[in-house]
Structure 1
Amino acid sequence: MKEQEPRFIVITGGPGSGKTTLIERLASEGYAHAPEAGRAIIQAQTAIDGPALPWRDKELFAELMLGWEMRSHAMMQGHPGPVLFDRGVPDIIGYRRLEGLPVPAHLSGAAHLCRYAKRVFLAPFWPEIYGRDAERRQDGETARRTCQVVAQAYADLGYEIVELPCRPVTERAALIRGMIGPPG
């Protein structure tokens, strides 16, 4: 297994838990970031009526997310200072487990190749802010289970999970800033 990449900070969790809002807040303070794969893929596939949508072909959707996450990881290698990732390769393991799909050897290999900081920030299911939209079709129970399987995927790979409080974005940002230091 490759060594951890201490500058690569993952913020993960279930859908609708405030991850992207938090990352956008920190990005506005100067932190580099890599956007979430899932939502972007859904938007692009919807625009072209493509097959790689989670409600059409879960396997293909997972493969596109894997390619996206590996590319994001590679692109940020030369970036100085902390880089925030809106999910990472282990999230795809969690997704496949949630959907009852096997975890293929190449995905396990990618999770060992694309390493992140030892501490992974988990935004837990937060029913008060959860909502569905055009890309987020999961019900609340599925969002809660997603958070659990994703957290387990990271734990299985040796990451330390730091659960974020269900607090305003300013407080969550201050917590992360205090743990990772200033932007590059």
Structure 2
Amino acid sequence: MCDHLFVVTGGPGTGKSTLIEELARRGLHSMPEAGRAIIRDQVRIGGAAVPWGDRALYAELMLGWELRSYHEAAALERPVMMDRGIPDVVGYLTLIGLPVAAHIEAAARLHPYNRLVFLAPYWPAIFTQDDERKQDRREAEATGRVLGETYARLGYRVVELPFRGVEERADFVLARVEGER
């Protein structure tokens, strides 16, 4: 187990990436989110692996990205904040009603993170859509719920982030990360 890898997960537009940027500013290592980068690249090259295209292929690319991020982060010694993790791929497939292939479930079980996972719940005050984030409010809420259930099913202790500004959220996370060390 990689006890120094801490996942921040949740639906789109819930402040995950902003929080992780703040934690990085405070000196923690971080790994970026797969989804946005994959979408940007796929749109740029005319690829089909996007959530509104070949969703199974999109999930496979996310899995590859998350595995690479996991191995890169595991080699670091200090706490690393992960903008999503391998179980997010399981949750994504569950959310969209596609089967979770055995190799994806195995990847989630064979690459454990710290058992403490931070869930950014749907927050109407900050939720926005853009060219890469096309989910509506209903799907954003459902995504957070399914991801929380997925991590819990895999044995993680899911802690919801408070509806507070980024600095207070960062303080909340840092206090719990320190408590885990």
- Answer yes or no: same fold by TM over 0.5: yes
The AA in structure 1 aligned to 2:96 is E
Listed one character per residue, the Cα deviations across residues 67-86 of structure 1 (whole Å, up to 9, x for unaligned) are 00000001112201100000
Count of aligned residue pairs for this structure pair: 179
Residues 5-154 of structure 1: pairs in structure 2 closer than 5 A: 5-154=2-151
Moved over 4 A (4+): none
CA distance in 2 between counterparts of 1:164 and 1:76 reads: 23
CA distance in 2 between counterparts of 1:164 and 1:77 reads: 24
SS at match of 1:162: strand
What stretches of structure 2 of length at least 5 have no aligned partner?
none
SS at match of 2:134: coil
What stretches of structure 1 of length at least 5 have no aligned partner?
none
Whether 1:156 and 2:153 are equivalent positions in the alignment is yes
SS at match of 2:41: helix
Q: Normalized per residue, which structure has more helix? A: 2
Q: Report the RMSD for the aligned CA atoms in angstroms.
A: 1.0
TM-score, normalization by structure 2: 0.97
What corresponds to 2:174 in structure 1? 177
Listed one character per residue, the Cα deviations across residues 53-108 of structure 1 (whole Å, up to 9, x for unaligned) are 11010000000000000000011122011000000000111100110000110001
CA distance in 1 between counterparts of 2:91 and 2:177 reads: 25
CA distance in 1 between counterparts of 2:20 and 2:130 reads: 19
The AA in structure 2 aligned to 1:117 is N
CA distance in 2 between counterparts of 1:17 and 1:102 reads: 26
Identity %: 51
SS at match of 1:181: helix
TM-score, normalization by structure 1: 0.95
